[in-house]
Chains A and B, each alone.
Chain A
Amino acid sequence: MKTALFSNRALIAFIGVVIVFLLGTVLIPGFSSMFSVRAMLILASLLAIAALGQTLVMILGGIDLSIPFVIGFANVVFASLYGSGMPALPAFLIVIACAAVIGSVSGALSAGLSIHPLIVTLGVGTVVQAAVQLWTRGLPTGSAPPFVNDFVSLGGTIGPLPFPWLIPFTVALTLGCVFVLHRTVYGRRLYALGSNLKAAELALVRPVAMWTTTFALSAVFAALAGILLVGFTGSSSATVGTPYLFQTVSAVVIGGTALIGGRGGFVGTVAGAIVLVELRTLLIGLGLSEALVQSALGLLILLLVAAYGRDQHIRNLI
């Protein structure tokens, strides 16, 4: 039942992907053109990468509000380091390592001191963003190495294939994530801890270590998304991550990972990310303003979660 339920939710999200795609094809000329599909897949991939960590954190029953700040941090620091002449690889490693440290701090504080991760990640994220702004004096510079540009480019190709490397990379990441969640000690213990913290502790799972690792992973993938965004937008900005705060949460929730913890997976999140990007494209194509699109997405989240993400009644918790 558990596997059925989980795949059902991810399946619903994928059915959503197909329905919205068909709707778009019928309603909007050019929606299913090569260019448009490729653009949507690239945007969805970037969102999915940023939301990978959010998925892991939500399986634990937490939430990570520092993702947009870490995206901004990675975006600016990577571009600045590379722009000031550092080779790409060390710059990449420095950024990823710093992100891991930032995430570990949030995770360790939340679990070690039993503080709600919402507050800790918000506080840590604010400090990180402020530090970046102070470092760049609000005027970030720099650029991405050409291969990062190609990696995410809207016009990118792999030989004869009409999409950039980002797409196969995201697919591989998804498969890797499914493998880790289902076939490793870390993955199974992640679900156990999210499902029943007390029982997990008694079953020799170390909550603080798990939270530290998971929030570190969340920050690492946010940083990866931040670096890829330098290539995508061509310049850097400390606030480039802002829309990702609610978008990552939305993608995870639409994908069927429940905030109560212990359920869900990354496949659903990928579907959630695609649905979000498709719907945006569709609604803007229909002539809705950016603002109304946002309202419509809010409604959509309500409908989807009301359909399959409801909590148990209190009488069933006793």
Chain B
Amino acid sequence: MSTDPMTFRKPRFWDRSETPLAAILFLVLVVFNAILNPARFSPANWPAVLGLAAPMILATMATTLPFLAGRGSIDVSVGPLMGLINVILVKVMIGDFGFTSPWIIVPAALLLGLASGALNGLLAAILRIQPIVATLATYLIYSGLALSILPAPSGTVPGWLSALAGPASFLPVGAVIVAWLLFRRLPFYELLMAVGSDDRAAFTAGVNVPAVRFFSYVFSGLIAAVAALALTALIGSGDPNIGPGYTLIAIAAAALGGVSLAGGVGGLTAAFIGAADIFLLQNVLTSFNVSTFMLQAAYGTVLVLAVCLNSEKLKARFQTWKASR
């Protein structure tokens, strides 16, 4: 990773020890998966596996951006937004209007994501409604709208869109990763991390804090739109019930990856690893043929354990304890 001079004190996430924990877990899980289920994880199957994991990975990335901006910034509407875009694409765009060209569908999805991001940003950053309340409200609005547009799962998608969950599954995740790498070279990235670390200091230094927070929601909406495309590709139809479920698991995955909910720590790499951990964990457990309840229990336990081990306070305590030996 680059070593360009940092203007702000907070160490970047790879200097800290939380992402390595998630990364080690990632490697262990990859090995486990490869041993337990060699056919499924053979190179020929990689695109399909990525397509399966893409909605959650992208949802986690979308959720991560507002976290970086700090002071309670959070976007819980990511899941329902994915569901709403999925439903609008399948029912309205493809079903009612008969559009099938990617040159219409993809921009439409991005536009919807942009609009939602701007709305969340306006409410949370500009109007200063507490972010969790503001995005909770949009959560309710989006999931309600999705159910009204398409009360039950139905519809089909064009072939090119299904391919995004198959042979071309690297496209959605890849596009976001490339965008993130470019984004990290922009001054805006430094501003975002500065605002997340210490918004008062950043404001005193002349940073337009509300504007930075606003754009973190806008980008979150854009990534959520890509996540919606990946989701639509994967399920191959419209489903109003599936989106909202992504919100909580994405928050959990971000925390697992080492993104600080208090801001300024983490990035999309951390989000990617956290989401991949949860996905791989689910796969390992499924291959043991355990019940979904067992899966749920394991996932909750791993989440709590991981965030506890990530705790800076625990590490500090451990250090004092070691020093006193």
Which of A293, A310, A314 interacts with B209 by CB under 8 Å? Answer: A314
Task: Tell whether B163 is near chain A: CB-to-CB under 8 Å.
Answer: no
Query: Known contacts A294-B144, A302-B123, A314-B203: does B296 contact A126 (CB below 8 Å)?
Result: yes
Contacts A113-B313, A113-B314, A317-B200 given; does A305 touch B133 at CB 8 Å: yes
Which residue from A131, A246, A295, A312 sits with its C-beta under 8 Å from B145? A295
Q: Which of B200, B300, B303, B312 contacts A318 (CB 8 A)?
A: B200
User: B137-159 interface mask toward A, CB cutoff 8 Å, 1 = contact, 0 = none?
Assistant: 11111111111100100000000
Partner of B136, one of A112, A127, A249, A296: A249
Q: Do residues B148 and A291 form an inter-chain contact, with CB atoms below 8 A? A: yes
Q: How far is the CA of A259 from the CA of B130 in the complex (A)?
A: 7
Question: Would you call A298 and B291 a contact (CB within 8 A)?
Answer: no
What are the residues of chain A within 8 A of B255 when measuring CB–CB? 116, 119
Chain B proximity mask over A155-194: 1 for CB below 8 Å, otherwise 0? 0000000000000000000000000000000000000000
Answer whether A127 and B304 are a contact pair too, CB < 8 Å, given A113-B311, A302-B134.
Answer: yes
Check if A122 sits within 8 Å of B252, measured CB to CB: yes
Q: Does B289 contact A (CB under 8 A)?
A: no
Indicate whether B308 reaches chain A with its CB closer than 8 angstroms. Answer: yes
Interface string of A240-253 (1 = CB under 8 A from B): 00000010011001
Q: Please tell me if A143 contacts chain B, counting CB pairs below 8 Å.
A: no
Report whether B304 and A123 are in contact in the complex, using a CB–CB cutoff of 8 Å.
Answer: yes
Cross-chain contact B199 with A314 (CB below 8 angstroms) = yes
Are A123 and B137 in touch, CB under 8 angstroms?
no
For the complex of A and B, list the 10 residue pairs with the smallest distance between their C-beta atoms, beginning with the closest: A295-B144, A298-B140, A126-B300, A291-B147, A130-B297, A294-B144, A127-B300, A123-B304, A298-B141, A113-B311
List A residues at the B interface (Cβ < 8 Å): 63, 65, 109, 112-116, 118-120, 122-127, 129-131, 133-134, 138, 246, 249-250, 253, 258-260, 289-299, 301-302, 305-306, 309-315, 317-318
B interface, CB within 8 angstroms of A: 72, 74, 123, 127-130, 132-134, 136-148, 151, 199-200, 203-204, 209-210, 240, 248, 251-252, 255, 261-262, 291, 293-297, 299-301, 303-304, 307-308, 310-314
